[in-house]
Structure formats: C-alpha cells, structure tokens
Chain A
Amino acid sequence: MKFRRFAQISILAACAGLGAPAMAQQQTITWWDFFAGGDGVRMKALIKEFNDEHPDIQINATTLEWGVPFYTKVRTSAAVGRGPDLMTYHLSRMPLGLSEGILTPITQQDLDTAGLAQSDFFESALEAGKSPDGTLYALPFDIHSIVLYYNKSYLEGSRFLDDQGALTGIESLADFEEVMQTAADNGAQVPLTYATGDDGGAYRVFYTLLAQQGGTLISDDGEILPGDSTEKAIKAIEIMTRWHEEGWQPEQALYEASVALFTSGKSAFQLNGVWEVPTMKDLEADGNLGFEWSAVEVPKLMDTQTTWADSHGWAIPVQGQTEMDPEKRAAVMTVIGWMEKHSIQWAEAGHIPAYKPVAESDAFKQMQPNATYSSLADRATYDPRSELAGVASPVYDAALNIVSPAMHGYLSPEDAVEQIKMELQSRMR
C-alpha cells in the first residue's frame, strides 16, 4: 500500500514538473550541432547571448561528433521522434538527407516568422539547401571552403610578396610549384601542408584541382567522372603525386599533424578549411605564432579559379509521426533568424556568412583575412548533388581509400581513377 501511495505521488509530481514550463509559456529548444573546435566556442557564445536576450526561448544545446556519427544519430532519432528541434546540417549532405525523408520543408511562413527572405542569401548556398523540385529544406548559415594559408617569412625577398607583404604572382601550376621550391630553398621543411593521410584533406584538394579543370565528379544522371572528367581526375592525382615525390607535401599527415606543421612554422603554405582561421588568430594573439601569416582564395592553378565549398545550414528534422507544435516551430525560426542576423560573430570562426546583409556589411569587409578570401563565395564549386557525396560520404571514403594511397605511390593515377569509378558506381542505387 505504501508503495502505491508513493508511486501515485511521484507520478503526480512528474506531471506537475512537465506542466510547469508550459504554464510559463517558455519554449525549450533542443539543439544539436557538431562544432567541437574553435568554432564550437564561438557557437556556444552565440547560444548564450541568445538565451540571455530571450527569456521566453531557451536553447538546450548538445554538441555531437562530426561526421557519420552525427548523421546516423540524427537519422535514427528523428525517425522515431526523439531527435532535436533544430540542428546544424551540411548542405552537401542534402541529397542523402532528402532520401532519408527526415527534413521538414521551410515555408514562406517560417521565413516570415524568422524575418528572413530567400533573396537575403547567396544564390549558390541557397540552392544547395533546396530539393531538386525547388522546395527549401535547409537555410544556409555560412559558406566555407579551403583557402591557401601562407607564412610570409619563407617568401621574403622573392617575387611572390608584394610591397604590402601580400601573396602575389601565383597564376598557374608552374608558379605554384616554383613558389613551393622557393620556400623549400628558404628552409621550409614541408613547403605545402594538408591532411594527405585523411579523407577530408585529400578529398578537398583533389576536388578543387578537378573543378579547376572543369571536371565533374558525379553527373546529375549519376555517372561517375563522365567523359573527359576521367582524364582530368587522373591529372589531379598526378599533380598530387608529383607534390609528394618532390617532397613538397607531408607524407601520410593526419589532420592534426598537418595543421601543426603550419602553426609550428615548418610549412610555408597550408591548404585547409577557413575554420582554422580562429586557431591562427588565437595563437597570434597569445604571441605564440612567431611568424606573419595570411590566407587567400586558392589561386588559379588549372584553367579556372574555383574552390571546393560547402555550407553549414539550419534544418528542422521531422518529429517521428507527429508534427511539431506551431508555437515551438515559431520559436525555432526565431532562433534561426537571430543567428543569421548575428552571423558576423560566426564569421570570426573563419566562415563567410551566407546571409548577405551581414556578408556585405562594413564590419565583415574589415574582418581579415575573411574579406580577402570572401571573393571565393561567388566562384565556389559545391559537392556534386548525389547521395554518394557530401560530408562523411562514400566520396570521402574513396579519398582516404584510393586517392591518398595513390598519391603516396601505392597505385598509379590511372588505376586509382578506375577504382574510384568502380567503387562509386557500385554504391549507386
């Protein structure tokens, strides 16, 4: 009897506990993201500021592991209604997200609630957030890409620094290889560093070299490296192999090691994402860097100037079989709208805001080195629109599995491209 009484009381208490926030009209938004590095610190600051400004909406944020773990968890939890109310999402992953059916469309009414309009965003980023029939499923937050970081100390006295001390004179592959040799002659242990032994590093450089030749990785009708793109892919791997053979790039460098080579001053150049800008800034501010640096858009090495790019975006997952309460949805859209309008703080993490009023503001134009490389936004090449591409996809696996061994001499570029085609074609459904 006693136990039953106890159980009744606890159930009542639990109900009262659940009911309380609803009575206070406060919305708690479950938020999932994958920012664990320097950008995570900046995101947490934004969330705190939002929570302080909005007594009626509280964000309850959780940071999960980037990549396959994040997207697997999102997919399974959203399908059974235990997912977040709002999450960050890579727009390169939209095709797979759409095929999983876990994203809800963002309607005009949603945009009105957030105080946003489609015309506020960079065209290419907005398109990446839409399904093939033009329905919007994710709002872009930023545009991020790889950029060329450089250490000025290895270039002094060469033709590659102008009188302001900015990188200049790289207009072709020959120029780039010349500058790497110059850096090597000036004592750079590894002239160019990138994560040669990791999926992301190998993929982004490979895809950029392919895109600069006008090559297509996966065509819209699902063909892998159609037509002369095969030749172009071989060429891209040949270039990376050559950089390895000349000792211009590190052997089997994992991500952390590749960054350390640059920050410790052993490398003259780094091809890496804009998200390492805060690392460089923080080191510089603490006086631990020991050299002058900057970053520019990846120069034109092949036929056209373009760079691999992706966007972090906002998406609202399905809630299992049920619909999200309209008031909650309005609160979620309020969060998105606020974040977009405060994305100048996100730009501190190196990214280019996708929201044009911020990207075109004076504050952003004065932010360095972002303003220098923000020109890439108009020329960027996004990942192919395929379920096989995007963050932590089979395409990334292929980079680790095939491109990286090939440039280290375990496979010829021709065989490597043949394998990439076979591998990806067989994953095609």
Chain B
Amino acid sequence: MAMIRNKPRHRLIAFTLIIPFVAIFALVFAYPVIEVVRMSFTDAPLIGGGNWVGLDNYKRLFSDNLFYTSMKNNGYFVLLTVLPTTIIALVISLAVNRLSGRMQALALVMFFTPYVLPVSVVTQIWAWMLDFQFGILQPVIEAVTGKPVPVFKNPYWVMPSVAVVTIWWTNGFNVLLFIAGLRNIPEDLYEAARLDGATRRQLFFKVTWPLLWPVTALVLTLQLILQLKIFDQIYLLSDGGPFNSSYVLLLMVYREAFQLNHGGYAAAISLVLFLLIVVISVLQFQLLRMGGRDK
C-alpha cells in the first residue's frame, strides 16, 4: 500500500509543508541579505534609496585604518574568549559530571544562571564591580598591581576585561553542551577500559576526549561565530575606547549606520564581516573535523 504513490500529489504536499518556512526565510533573511548586498554598492542613507556608486564603499573600506584596527581587535577578542571559554566549560562539566542527583542540578543551575541574564544586566553588574571609584573588585586589582585600574578606560586592560565578562556570561551554555556530550558516552566503555587496567588519565585521553570531540568542535565553532559578532558588551562597557583599542567591526557598522546615516557604507562593512564569519567558521569546522578523524 505504502508503495503506491500519487506523485504529483505527493510533491504538492511536500511543497505545502515547506512553503511556510521558505516564505518566512525569504522575508526575514534572503530579502534583507540581497538588500544589504545591493545597498553596499550605493551611497544610501539609513532609510531611503541612494545612488549607485559601484565599488566606492569597498575601496574606502579597505583604505580605512579603523577597519583594520577593528579587525585586529575582533581577532584579539576571539583569541581571548574562544579557547579559554571552551577549556573552562570542559573542566567545569567534567567536575559537575562527577556530582550526582540534586548536587549536580544545583551546580548546573549556578553555572547556567548568568547565561539567563540580559546583556545590559550583565554589563551593569560588572561595570559596578569594576568601577574605578567604588568597585568591590578594585581592592583585588590593587593587591595585584599596586594601584586601582580603570579597566574599561585602560588600553591594555579593556579587551581582557570584556573577555572575562563575556566568558562569565556565556559559559553556562557551553557547560550544558559538554554535559550532554559526556552523558552520551556509554558507561560500558569506561567499564571495559577499567577492566583492562586503564588509569584515570588514560580514561580521559583514550575514551572521553575522542568521543567528546564532536561536541568540542561544535562548541569551538559556535563560540567563534558568536565572538566574532561581539558588539553589546563593547558598546555598553567601553564604547570602543580608549583610542579605539576596543573598536570592533560591528561597532563600526553601528556608528556608520545609526550615528552618521551612511547606510551604504555600513552595509559594505557588515557584508565583509558576514563573509569573514562564514569563511572563518567553515574553515575552522573543516579543520576540526580533520583533526577529529585522526583520532
């Protein structure tokens, strides 16, 4: 029975099933993307049309020092967050995984709570804790460096500080992914390995690590995409300063579009950022998969 099909009808059903998705996708993703591409070749303001200017926006972009500064800062921020947050999440999840029952649930809640907070609350909390005059963390900084440091106003401290805030905020989600990964590893593998006399070290490197690799690759890739899109924390904590040492690409897009009304130029920057993210993340995911295959 099931093999007898009315082909056109079948196709129609398939079509009606995907049409809502295609329609919404076209409306809120495909159309805006095409518009951004078109806009990046014009001198359009934020609202309304503009004149076709060809590659002018791109020529200007590639001779704009701020663009290179921003790209450098984006890269620096990725370095400061992606690997550290992955390692920290892995360590935390391994520790949490050893707990059981209510204690495990409690520990998970504690690590996950910051992730639930909106970014403005997170930055407000940290801005106060690190406040130059009244921050409760200033005595700690003073104990290490000998004097209080206005962390978001100091060119050397600003990016690492934003990175710490970001890791604190987003780490809970990665812990959750790792926990899920760890639970997927069958217990019998550990049992068999233990019977063969594997040490704890060997258990981790020969069983846990290779089987967790797909999750690790996923976390690394998700983090990379997320951290390349850094904007909120910078906008709320340092505004790109001091002297552009925390200026990032999305802040540049925001300033050009919303402050200076240069829609076309902002579109060009965001398109370049979009391509950068696509290329880097595809590249990274492929590399990680190759790395995984060797294991």
Interface residues of A (CB under 8 A from B): 68, 72, 75-76, 79-80, 96, 99-100, 197, 251-253, 257, 387, 392-394, 397, 400-402, 404-405, 408, 410-411, 416, 419, 422-423, 426-427, 429
Contacts and interface: CB of A to CB of B under 8 A. Distances in A.
Contacts, number: 72
Contact of B239 (A400, A411, A416): A400
Interface of B: 45-48, 64-66, 132-133, 150, 153-155, 239-244, 255, 258-262
Contact of A410 (B242, B244, B262): B242
29 contacts: A68-B259, A72-B258, A72-B259, A75-B46, A79-B46, A96-B260, A99-B261, A100-B45, A251-B132, A252-B150, A387-B260, A394-B259, A397-B239, A397-B240, A397-B255, A400-B239, A401-B240, A401-B242, A402-B242, A402-B243, A404-B241, A404-B242, A405-B241, A408-B150, A410-B242, A419-B243, A422-B65, A423-B66, A426-B64
A68 B261 CA distance: 11
From DSSP, what is the main secondary structure of chain B's interface residues? loop
B239 A429 contact: no
Contacts of A405: 153, 155, 241-243
B153 A197 contact: yes
B206 to A, nearest CB: 50
A401 B47 contact: no
A394 B260 contact: yes
Nearest to B241: A401
Interface centre among A75, A251, A252, A393 (most CB of B within 10 A): A252
Nearest to A411: B243
A249 to B, nearest CB: 14
A80 B153 contact: no
A401 B244 contact: yes
Contact of B66 (A80, A252, A400, A426): A426
B153 to A, nearest CB: 5
Nearest to A199: B239
Contacts of A197: 132, 150, 153
Given A410-B243, A422-B65, A68 B258 contact: yes
A150 to B, nearest CB: 23
A76 B47 contact: yes
Given A76-B46, A405-B155, 14 more contacts: A68-B258, A75-B46, A75-B261, A80-B47, A99-B261, A393-B259, A397-B239, A397-B240, A404-B153, A405-B153, A410-B155, A423-B66, A423-B244, A426-B65
A251 B150 contact: yes
A401 B150 contact: no
A388 to B, nearest CB: 8
A408 B148 CA distance: 14
A401 B255 CA distance: 14
